[in-house]
Structure 1
């Protein structure tokens, strides 16, 4: 996960928001995969407490 911090820059108590929802066509399909990967990394780090 080089180059991925997973930090939360939202205020305490504010749920993380998603502002971009790629469609399932063209390069946006690849972007969606990358966003899902980062979400998974973020969840794993939060669960692990690091």
Structure 2
């Protein structure tokens, strides 16, 4: 199950039509960085954590 979630996140992050991250960036990013990127692109930016 976790493997499936990781695959989905990887596809979102590395797809040029989505985030367009390199595989290296995906594997180095923290979950918080990924979340902030998705929030920023969707316009749903929260305040401080």
TM-score by length of 2: 0.36
Larger Rg: 1
TM-score by length of 1: 0.36
Structure with greater helix percent: 2
By relative contact order (CA 8 Å, sep 6+), the higher-ranking structure is: 1
